[in-house]
Amino acid sequence: MTISGNRRDANPIVLNPDGSARRPGRVPFTERTFEEGWLQDLIEDHPELLPVAEIEPAFAPLVSVGREVATASGYIDNLFLSPQGYLTIVETKLWRNPEARREVVGQVIDYAKDVSRWTFEELERKIRDYNEQRRHSKSGILDSLRQIEDIEESEEQIIIDAITHNLQVGRFLLLVVGDGIRESVEAMADYLQQTPQFHFTLALVELKVYELGAEGEKPYLVIPQIVARTREITRAVVRVEGKAIESVQVGVDTEIITEKKPPTRSTLTEEDFFKILSQRVDSDDADFTHQIIRDVQVLGCTIEWKQGGFVVKLPDPGGSGQKLSLLVVEKGGQVYVRNELYTQLGSLGLPKEIASDYARETAELFGDCQVKEGYFAYWSRTVSLSELRQRYQGFRDILEKTIARINQASRS
């Protein structure tokens, strides 16, 4: 196993309109400005703060699915799941706490051992309990993932299989997140040698907190930094010598293990999509779908092709690189709005009511369609392309207004 992590300390500066600069003061981690609950709240509400894509891209983006999750070894501070079916286990520590020096790494590994014994059904129950307590909804795994990514019915079993497989082999991302990490990389290796059978990745992430405002105001700037992470998986090989088992030698071979991967989801090409669509809807609806694509592109949107159709997405005007989901069109001729936009706007610090208004106003165009109970921006049913075509002018007006509101909010 190799562990890498070169700390590069740098201090941010704030550039004033007149060209002058000031250096915000860092909040010392030895002070009692924050409690661990503050860190847990922070990453629960803003999981994008954790640099998961830089550590293991398959584990991003993060969807919060657990807080203080019970295991045989204690309570997991934060639990996340990616749309690809990968779990991230987070242990938060304020490094002023004495037990944080060494025990925290061993603790998060114990959590991983416990989670590897769960079944898919156990994980589903824990996520439903979390959503009921924290989100006031009864969403399970798949509906939780739909907050940030479109998941069609044909993809559900693939995701379930991936989650089941990752639970069985202990394929997790373990994060120790603190406000001033000083644990040595060598100490990490000692713990990791004890669990060679698991396929997890472990990383230390430090959150640097700076005060930006004047005394008493205290807006904060939070900067994540990867301190160290595992790069390879260690496999222990036990060699038994002699018929009477007179001696046993344990050797540790370091290599990257290629594990059996669950099936991956494929995407349609535009040509394939229209070939399938033309077999399921009439020519007027097929031509109308071409018009939808042209119109949304004029409005600044992009088309993201999926296995079951395409998603209309608006690139974040603020330049974050995130794309905001506005509409899903399936190859069978169904159209719908999901809850992703509400969550995405919140993660960008933009008004979430833009998504609520968009979903409600567009749903009202289609009679018995409405915003689904327990969600803020999710149609209660799909509509057909024919229904949308008959009310398209009104829909397009609402869509254009919504995009204008997002652009305006990004400039504010």
Give the phi and the psi of residue 209 in degrees, each rounded to 5: -115, 125
Using CB atoms within 10 Å of the CB of residue 278, give its burial: 0 to 12 exposed, 13 to 18 middle, 19+ buried: middle
pLDDT of 5 reads 47
| DSSP code, position 306 | -
Q: What is the DSSP string of 82-150?
A: -TTS-EEEEEEE-TTSGGGGTHHHHHHHHHHHHHTT--HHHHHHHHHHHIIIIISS---HHHHHTTTS-
User: Distance (Å, rounded) from C-alpha 147 to C-alpha 125?
Assistant: 18
Q: What is the DSSP string of 285-305?
A: HHHHHHHHHHHHHHTT-EEEE
Instruction: Write out the two tokens for 146.
Output: 């739909």
pLDDT of 287 reads 96
Which 3 state secondary structure label does DSSP give 166? helix
Contacts of 168 (CB under 8 A, 6+ apart): 116
pLDDT of 211 reads 81
In angstroms, how far is CA 75 from the centroid of its own chain? 21
pLDDT of 207 reads 85
In angstroms, how far is CA 210 from the centroid of its own chain? 25
pLDDT of 196 reads 53
Residues in the chain: 412
pLDDT of 242 reads 42
pTM of this structure:
0.60
Q: What is the pLDDT along the chain (412 residues), one digit of tens a residue?
A: 334 444 455 678 888 888 888 788 777 655 666 778 888 999 999 998 899 988 888 888 899 999 999 999 999 999 999 988 999 999 988 766 555 555 777 888 899 999 999 999 999 999 999 999 988 888 899 988 987 777 777 788 889 999 999 998 889 999 988 876 655 544 554 555 555 556 788 888 888 888 876 655 567 888 887 776 664 433 344 444 444 434 444 444 444 333 444 555 556 788 889 999 999 999 999 999 999 999 999 999 999 988 788 999 999 999 888 899 999 999 889 999 877 888 889 888 999 999 999 999 999 999 888 886 556 677 888 899 999 999 999 999 999 999 999 999 998 8
The CA angle 315-318-319, to the nearest 5 degrees, is 65
- H/E segment holding residue 194: none
Look at phi and psi of residue 198 and say left if phi exceeds 0, alpha if psi is from -120 to 50, else beta. beta
